Chains A and B, each alone.
Chain A
Amino acid sequence: MGFNVGIDIGGTFTDFCSIGDDGNIIAYKTPTTHYDLSVGFMRGMRELAKRCELAPRDYLSKVHALRYSTTVGTNALIERNGPKLALITTAGFEDTIFIGRSRSWADGLPMHEVRDMARISKPAPLIDPDMVVGISERIDCHGKVIAPLNREELLAKIQLLVDKGAMGFVVSLMWSFLNTEHELLIKKIIEEEYPEDYLGSMPVTLSSQISPKAGEYTRTMTSVVNAYIHGIMADNLNQLSSELRDGGYQRPLILVHNTGGTKKVSRTKAVLTHNAGPVAGMYGSLAVGALSGNPNVVFTDMGGTSFDIGVIVDAELRAHDFIPVIDRWRTNIPAIEVKSIGSGGGSIAWINELMGNSLEVGPHSAGSMPGPACYDKGGEQPTVTDADLVLGYLNPDNYLAGEMFLDVELSAGVIEEKIAKPLGISVLEAAYRIRRLVDARMGQEVFNEVALKGHDPRKFAVFACGGAGATHACGFAPYIGARKVVVPAVASVFGAFGASTMEIRQVWDLSRTLKLFRWDQQHYLEDLESFNGIVRGLKLAAIRDLKLEGFREEQMEFHLELDMRYGSQYNLTKVSVPRLALQSEDDVRELCDSFTRRYSEIYSPEAAFPVGGVNAECFYLSASVRQEKAAFRKEAGGGESPAAALAGSRQAYFDPAHGFIDTPVYDWRLLKPEHTIHGPALIDAPETTYVIDRGWTYVMDAWRNGVLRRDS
């Protein structure tokens, strides 16, 4: 028997999910080892092997695919431990990345910091201003060379950068996405001067290869971020691959991309790995949504550090990040949109003295070290997990399947010292307020994501995932107005589960402006080859790339999307195109109609502006490889009564009116499909605790997903 394994590294825990060929799922969580991510990674692999009753080597040799969503690149950006880079750009545009876009000082910051205008500032640049040089050259907006590159000038400036300590080059010239000639020439010259067999050999990153799209700021920043994290990620992943090979794993390590696919490490651009974990969770939601008959899903994942939100409409991932920001940098990668806020089990509660001693929770997290005070690793700040423990929801002797013991006295101590005493309230009330506050914050954010984007929350099932998702689902769901909350069977490791269900897929993108419809002449694009040629080029690149990974063309599936807009508009709308080649004017008309429909859905029909004409601005061709989907085990029902799963009771505090009450506790492992539990009740699962509030009913479905409904 073989296994598909997904691994998701989060800010607090690293999650593992192993799906056997027989559909058996094994989940495991371990604290993220920030000092060396491979330590936690290998610890988890050993534990999966143990739970499969195999020696680590035997287990690894039976793994079909190991899909990994890593935060190595993100960490490198946060810690700023990347190499000293130099930027070569067109003369006159040296300050592009320092000027940024109109609000780039706010990019990547949480709302409360964005509002703090007095203190907000631009981030320290990834490339020092003195490491940027301008080169005399020019390509125009049609891709024509109007000023040739000066080799002598270039050599002199490269030497200058090398003397200043450049360890790598980023080349981003004006309009290079239309004509790559000058960028390629610069790369050739650098490689001639510093060939690979010299110790001084330096990597050269071309914007036309990393991000061939319009917009010099985002194109350059995407290339800079990629170059900055590339070396660190390569070292880290090579070391990990080597450890895995030594351990018996015989296949390539596969990385999860934020664009919604997976690819081998050797064929992955570093920049595509940012924030891939929540995207993997979205794919897990698609899989579970299809099983459980929920095409409209609000995916939520409450982990230790953050709370992630994504929306699935009609079983499709339509939402792409409008402004994908990595760390503090606006980029143009076609990432799937997942919103994150700093609310998790490890979020720190604190008193905001500037706001009249108001209680705040997050965005800072205690992380995995020291973690919440109850972890007893020296943590001295009260967190959401501490509040949950004080309120009696968590079983201190069975946290993480008994691998970690929680100290309720430590939790009560820090809540008393940091919250209760300053506010003049009891420890219990402080814990209750912490919980209510974090629930309200999450609920409000989910509401914003769904209702304010034009969807009716009542038509959506809320998926509550993450280690703390089941504990807080009944708390935040009322703020959304959702009628149904689903806690997937593997909710606590949902990112890892999602990763293990993902297929090999990549997106190839290219900026090209095509006028599809001219209002003034009332006619549609006639030169269909201008459209088809672009798609054909992207398809050839995709086929070549996937063939290099060992796949046949017959296995590949292609899907085309366009960024479109009405002429003279600024913002773009993504439209799915049902065919890869346009064969007649009718096809063009249909495409324009699709755009109008999509635009009207988002902005209302009144906002449509056909007078401007319709433009295609950017082409996205995604290529995926057909693979067999894992077959999940369905279980037989066990009747409504969960009496056999009753494990005892615990004193838990649900509201001030009732105080602590003796609450029945069920063992999740003993529950069977159809078992129905009315709140208030608690369910202890190996990696999480379900809190079923008063007025809620829990029913387990055939795939062991928990379905929570609010009693009418």
Chain B
Amino acid sequence: MSYFSELSRGERPARAVWLPFLETLAAQVAGCELQAIVSDATRWANALPRVATLLEVPALAVGFVDGFGACAFADNPEEPWRHPALEALLECTRRLAETERPGRDLVVAMPGPLAVCAALGEPLDKVVLEKIKASMVKLLEAICACRPDMVILNETVDAERQATGPDYRRICNTLKNVTEYFGIGLGIRVSGYGDAPKLLRELRTLRLDHLMLGLGAGPTLSAAELMAAAEGQGWRSVGIAIESGQGVGPLPQQGTGYYWCSAGQEQDLEQARTLGLALAAAL
């Protein structure tokens, strides 16, 4: 049984994993720019597993590129899933779900409500959230129909301050109900936060069970400190960002499911491979 599908089913996987963001490396392997690969589903779906094979990772992260997809809501607010970027994401996810499983898990990122509001240049308020809700639901439905193991709302801007209000909570609730219908876990990824313990506590009010942490804005807490802050909050899983070259240690086998993830797109194949080997030994 795979790590993220077990998490989505409410089970606690026995062994943690590393979830690296490999689109940049996939672009290098395919001999093109990052923007080119994420707009071409064929190349994306071909190159990503090849890099994953090189690094021997058991899970594929799709679409974890800063700001990816949010502009689709600005360009085509009625049907953002028809925007070329999101069409490529959907097609790539569909192909990977058919070709890479059950060997590998699939975790897909979609722009979160905050990221969408930022792309629209609108404030995060009830009216705007009501406006984007229908298209976010449709996009999420389309992603879920591709059958990934987990979907992550990628919020990179100011999540700490804005993402805990009642209106935000309400749209997250709707999105979670949609993923529950498909039996898929829904999580949120935030980075650029200031106070990690506070963030871990406050985001829990969203009823989302899975959190993926990017790098904080201030001094980075150690993994042990982050895990201590997350303990007892009720998160089913917490992904902890790790940068290449950083020291790694074992993760707890009980309680919340912790796993390592990239802080951003991996840039160097050799460094990533070294990190992967170190993590494989530690996990």
Interface residues of A, Cβ cutoff 8 Å to B: 31, 33, 35-36, 39, 43, 368-370, 375-378, 380
A377-B183 CB under 8 A given contacts A369-B141, A370-B137? no
CB distance from A402 to the nearest CB of B (A): 14
A35-B145 CB under 8 A given contacts A43-B183, A369-B181, A376-B174? yes
CB distance from A389 to the nearest CB of B (A): 15
Give which listed residue, A39, A43, A378, contacts B137 with CB less than 8 A.
Answer: A378
* B133 part of interface (Cβ distance < 8 Å): yes
| Given A33-B182, A35-B147, A378-B141, 14 further pairs, Cβ under 8 A | A31-B181, A33-B181, A33-B183, A35-B144, A36-B147, A369-B178, A370-B178, A377-B137, A378-B133, A378-B137, A378-B138, A378-B174, A378-B178, A380-B134
Does the CB pair A378–B173 fall under 8 Å? no
Collect the chain B residues with CB atoms within 8 Å of residue A39's CB. 182-183
A selection of 25 A-B contacts at a CB cut-off of 8 Å is A31-B181, A33-B181, A33-B183, A35-B147, A35-B182, A36-B147, A39-B182, A39-B183, A43-B183, A368-B181, A369-B141, A369-B178, A370-B137, A375-B177, A376-B177, A377-B137, A377-B174, A377-B177, A377-B181, A378-B133, A378-B134, A378-B137, A378-B138, A378-B141, A378-B178
A114 and B139 alpha carbons, distance in the complex (Å)? 37
CB distance from B251 to the nearest CB of A (A): 26
Interchain residue pairs A-B with the least CB separation, the first 4: A378-B137, A377-B177, A376-B174, A376-B177
Collect the chain A residues with CB atoms within 8 Å of residue B134's CB. 378, 380
A35 and B142 alpha carbons, distance in the complex (Å)? 11
CB distance from A37 to the nearest CB of B (A): 12
CB distance from A205 to the nearest CB of B (A): 30
Query: Nearest A residue to B145 by beta-carbon distance?
Result: A35
Interface residues on B, range: 10 to 19
- Total inter-chain residue pairs, C-beta < 8 Å: 35
Query: Nearest B residue to A34 by beta-carbon distance?
Result: B181
Collect the chain B residues with CB atoms within 8 Å of residue A378's CB. 133-134, 137-138, 141, 174, 178
Interface string of B148-186 (1 = CB under 8 A from A): 000000000000000000000000011001100111000
Query: Nearest B residue to A371 by beta-carbon distance?
Result: B181
A378 and B147 alpha carbons, distance in the complex (Å)? 19
Does the CB pair B145–A377 fall under 8 Å? no
A33 and B144 alpha carbons, distance in the complex (Å)? 12
Collect the chain A residues with CB atoms within 8 Å of residue B182's CB. 33, 35, 39
Collect the chain A residues with CB atoms within 8 Å of residue B181's CB. 31, 33, 368-369, 377
Q: Which of B133, B137, B145 counts the most chain A CB atoms within 10 A?
A: B137
Interface string of B182-202 (1 = CB under 8 A from A): 110000000000000000000
A370 and B133 alpha carbons, distance in the complex (Å)? 13
Does the CB pair B183–A376 fall under 8 Å? no
A-facing residues in B115-144 (Cβ within 8 Å): 133-134, 137-138, 141, 144
Query: Nearest A residue to B133 by beta-carbon distance?
Result: A378
Collect the chain A residues with CB atoms within 8 Å of residue B177's CB. 375-377
CB distance from B185 to the nearest CB of A (A): 14
Collect the chain B residues with CB atoms within 8 Å of residue A368's CB. 181
Collect the chain A residues with CB atoms within 8 Å of residue B145's CB. 35
Collect the chain A residues with CB atoms within 8 Å of residue B147's CB. 35-36
A370 and B179 alpha carbons, distance in the complex (Å)? 11
Collect the chain B residues with CB atoms within 8 Å of residue A370's CB. 137, 178
A380 and B147 alpha carbons, distance in the complex (Å)? 24
CB distance from B283 to the nearest CB of A (A): 26
A154 and B142 alpha carbons, distance in the complex (Å)? 46
Query: Nearest B residue to A413 by beta-carbon distance?
Result: B130
Collect the chain A residues with CB atoms within 8 Å of residue B183's CB. 33, 39, 43
A368 and B145 alpha carbons, distance in the complex (Å)? 14
